[in-house]
Amino acid sequence: MTPLLQVRGLVAGYAGSRVLHGVDLDVAEGSTVALLGRNGVGKSTLVAAVMGMVRPSAGSVVMEGRELAGKPSDVIARAGIAIVPQGRRVFAPLTVEENLAISVRRKRPGRWDVPAVYELLPRLAERRGNRGDQLSGGEQQMLAIGRALLANPRLLLLDEPSDGLAPAVVSQVADVLATLIQEGLSILLVEQNLRLAFQLADEVTVMQKGELVLRCPTLDFRSDEARARQLLGVA
């Protein structure tokens, strides 16, 4: 069976510096793939390149049989990929309600609308009148997740959702993501927080210097601490 997302030989970078040197990555329908690696190995660039926010210079990104590499990100969004970016990036001057309303795409109806997001993330409903920059980090993360869901994506890209959050808040985010995974949403999760990654992912992939160096089931990876330490510099 062909996977939902199939990345092959992806090369991308920024003016003058190449970050990805031919990455291959699959995300199967309904699975959660954790993308691990030390700082600066290209995890965020990979996610940005899949979303079309960084233009790949070579390689292919195929989603449900459709070639998306080089397409603008609005086309990629309509093809069913949504991103929860690192640092949340909510619309600071807009209220929670406006942040969500702006994300509703009428041409892509489905499981998620604004009431459904409020049901999943009740904290947002309480703060619906507050501006994006009045929210706590955790609330902003919830808002960013809600905003991505409103696109009714087949595949959700999450770039370090635990970044900068208190442990209690991380576990709230984890609960929300676990609910989504249970519902069958496919997820590519970039994460430094190994506990969170292990808790959610079926499969672990590790990047080093712009290449994917390991791909294995989460359980196998967890049982081999020495390898984890060698690849990630942590236990």
Partner 1 sequence: MSSSTGGLRAPAPLLARQAERGTAAPSAPPGGRRRLRGPAIQAVAVLVLATLPFLMSSYQVSTMTRILAFALLAVSVDLLTGVTGLPTLGQAAYFGVGAYAAALTALHWTANAPAQLLVAVGAGLLAAAATGWVAVRTRGIVFLMLTLAIGELVHQVADGWSFVGGSNGLTGIASPRLLPGGAPITLAGVVYWYVLAVFVLAYLGVRAVVASPFGRTLRGIRDNEPRMRAIGYRPAVAKFAVYCLAGAVAGAAGSLWITQTRFVSPGDLAFEVAALALLSVVIGGAGSLWGPCLGAGVVLLTRDYLSTYVGGRGSLLLGLVFIAVVYVLPRGLAGLGQRLAVGRRPGGEPRGVRP
Residue recorded with tokens 């195929």: 62
Check binding of 135 to partner 1 (CB under 8 A): yes
Query: What would the x/- binding string for partner 1 be over residues 163 to 202, using CB under 8 A?
Result: ----------------------------------------
Minimal distance in Å, beta carbon 150 to partner 1? 8
Q: Does 41 bind partner 1 (CB under 8 A)?
A: no
Query: In 3-state terms, the chain is what percent helix, strand and coil (to 5)?
Result: 35, 25, 35
- Residues 6 or more apart in contact with residue 213 via CB below 8 angstroms: 206, 207, 231
Q: Which of 44, 193, 205, 218 binds partner 1 (CB under 8 A)?
A: 44
Distance in angstroms (rounded) separating the CA atoms of residues 231 and 235: 10
Helix/strand number for the chain, H first, E second: 10, 10
Alpha-carbon distance 111 to 90, whole Å? 22
Minimal distance in Å, beta carbon 178 to partner 1? Answer: 24
Q: How far is the CB of 195 from partner 1 (least distance, A)?
A: 25
Residue whose structure tokens are 């309480």:
126
The smaller minimum CB distance to partner 1, of residues 78 and 209, is found at 78
Closest residue by Cα to residue 60 from 52, 69, 47, 71: 69
Question: Cβ-count burial of 1 within 10 angstroms (0-12 exposed, 13-18 middle, 19+ buried)?
Answer: exposed
* Of the candidates 170, 210, 164, 215, the residue with the CA atom closest to the CA atom of residue 3: 215
Q: Among 2, 66, 92, 223, indicate the residue that binds partner 1 (CB under 8 A).
A: 92
Using rule CB under 8 A, residue 129 touches partner 1: yes
| Chain residues 45-84 in contact with partner 1, contact rule CB under 8 A | 48, 51-54, 72-74, 76-78, 82-83
Is residue 151 within the footprint of partner 1 (CB under 8 A)?
A: yes
Q: Give min distance, CB of 122 to partner 1, in A.
A: 17
Measured from the CB atom, the residue of 147 and 154 that comes closer to partner 1 is 147
Which spans of this chain sit near partner 1 (rule: CB under 8 A)?
A: 44, 48, 51-54, 72-74, 76-78, 82-83, 85-95, 98, 101-103, 105, 108, 129, 131-135, 140, 147, 151
